[in-house]
Amino acid sequence: MKLLPLFLTLFISANLLAQKDSDKLTPADYKGLCTSYFNKVKLPGENTAATVSAYLKNFIPNLKSDEIGLKLNYVNQSPGGLHYSFTETYKGVEVYESEIKVNTDNHNSIHSIFDNSFNTDNWNIDVSNANEKSVIAKLPDTEHFVLAAKYYEQHYEVLRYNNEIIFQRDMNMYFNQDSTVTGTVFTPDPLTSSQQFYTQGTFYDNNDQNAVWLTNALQTVSFNVNFTGTEFQLKNDYVEIVDVDSPNVLPAASTIPLFSYNRSETGFEDVNAFYHINQYRNHVNALGYTIANHLVHADTHAVGGDDQSYFSPTFPSPGLYYGTGGVDDAEDADVVTHEYGHFLSYNASPGSNSGFQRQALDEAFGDYVAASYSKAISNFNSDWVFNWDGHNEFWSGRVVNSTKNYPADATGSIYRTGEIWSSAIMAIHNEIGRNATDSLMYELHYNYSINMSMGDAAQLLIDVDSTLNNGAYYCPIYRHLFERGFVAFYAGNPCGVSAISEATKQVIAFTQNGYGFTINNADNVTMQLCITNINGQQVAPAITVINKNYQYSNTDLPNGVYLVEVKTNTALHAFKWVNAN
Sign, CA torsion 179/181/187/191: negative
Q: Is the pTM of this model over 0.85?
A: no
Asked, for residue 404, whether it belongs to a domain, the answer is yes
pLDDT tens digits for 117-150? Answer: 999 999 999 999 999 999 999 988 788 999 999 9
Asked, for residue 5, whether it belongs to a domain, the answer is no
User: Within this chain, do residues 398 and 523 fall inside the same structural domain, yes or no?
Assistant: no
- The list of the chain residues with pLDDT below 50 reads 1-17, 22-28, 176
Q: Residue 244 sits in a domain of what CATH number? A: 3.10.170.10
User: Within this chain, do residues 186 and 323 fall inside the same structural domain, yes or no?
Assistant: yes
User: Within this chain, do residues 137 and 204 fall inside the same structural domain, yes or no?
Assistant: no
Q: Point out the domain boundary residue: 298, 313, 348.
A: 348
User: Within this chain, do residues 323 and 462 fall inside the same structural domain, yes or no?
Assistant: no
Q: Point out the domain boundary residue: 503, 521, 545.
A: 503
**Any idea what the Cα angle at residue 156 is, between residues 93 and 452, rounded to 5°?**
65
- The C-alpha atoms of residue 116 and residue 34 are separated, in whole angstroms, by 5
- The answer to whether 358 and 297 are in contact (CB under 8 A) is no
Asked, for residue 549, whether it belongs to a domain, the answer is yes
User: Within this chain, do residues 301 and 315 fall inside the same structural domain, yes or no?
Assistant: yes
Cα–Cα distances in Å, from 296 out to 271, 324, 546?
Answer: 15, 20, 52
- The answer to whether 404 and 398 are in contact (CB under 8 A) is no
Asked, for residue 17, whether it belongs to a domain, the answer is no
Asked, for residue 225, whether it belongs to a domain, the answer is yes
Asked, for residue 196, whether it belongs to a domain, the answer is yes
Q: What are phi and psi of 536, to 5 degrees?
A: 85, 10
Q: What are phi and psi of 285, to 5 degrees?
A: -65, -35
Asked, for residue 246, whether it belongs to a domain, the answer is yes
- The C-alpha atoms of residue 548 and residue 545 are separated, in whole angstroms, by 8
pLDDT tens digits for 377-420? Answer: 999 999 999 999 999 999 999 999 999 999 999 988 999 999 99
- The C-alpha atoms of residue 548 and residue 79 are separated, in whole angstroms, by 51
pLDDT in the model for residue 507: 67
User: Within this chain, do residues 372 and 274 fall inside the same structural domain, yes or no?
Assistant: no
- The answer to whether 238 and 294 are in contact (CB under 8 A) is yes
User: Within this chain, do residues 215 and 326 fall inside the same structural domain, yes or no?
Assistant: yes
- Segment holding 456, helix H or strand E: helix 454-469
pLDDT in the model for residue 53: 97
* HEC per residue, 280-346: HHHHHHHCCCCCCCCCEEEEEEEHHHCCCEEEECCCCCCEEEEECCCCCHHHCHHHHHHHHHHHHHH
Q: How many other C-beta atoms can be found within 10 angstroms of the C-beta atom of residue 35?
A: 16
Q: For the chain, how big is the Rg over CA atoms in Å?
A: 24
User: Within this chain, do residues 398 and 280 fall inside the same structural domain, yes or no?
Assistant: no
Count structural domains, the chain: 4
Largest CA distance in the chain: 73
User: Within this chain, do residues 391 and 286 fall inside the same structural domain, yes or no?
Assistant: no
User: Within this chain, do residues 190 and 118 fall inside the same structural domain, yes or no?
Assistant: no
- Dihedral angle, C-alpha 331, 337, 340, 344, nearest 10 °: 170
Asked, for residue 10, whether it belongs to a domain, the answer is no
pLDDT in the model for residue 29: 67
Q: Residue 449 sits in a domain of what CATH number? A: 1.10.390.10
- The answer to whether 420 and 410 are in contact (CB under 8 A) is yes
User: Within this chain, do residues 378 and 275 fall inside the same structural domain, yes or no?
Assistant: no
User: What b/e readout covers 39-61, taking b as 16+ CB neighbours within 10 angstroms?
Assistant: eeeebeeebebebbbebbeeebe
User: Within this chain, do residues 343 and 372 fall inside the same structural domain, yes or no?
Assistant: no
Q: Residue 534 sits in a domain of what CATH number? A: 2.60.40.3080
Q: Point out the domain boundary residue: 113, 139, 169.
A: 169
pLDDT in the model for residue 548: 76
- Domain extent, residue 417, equals 356-503
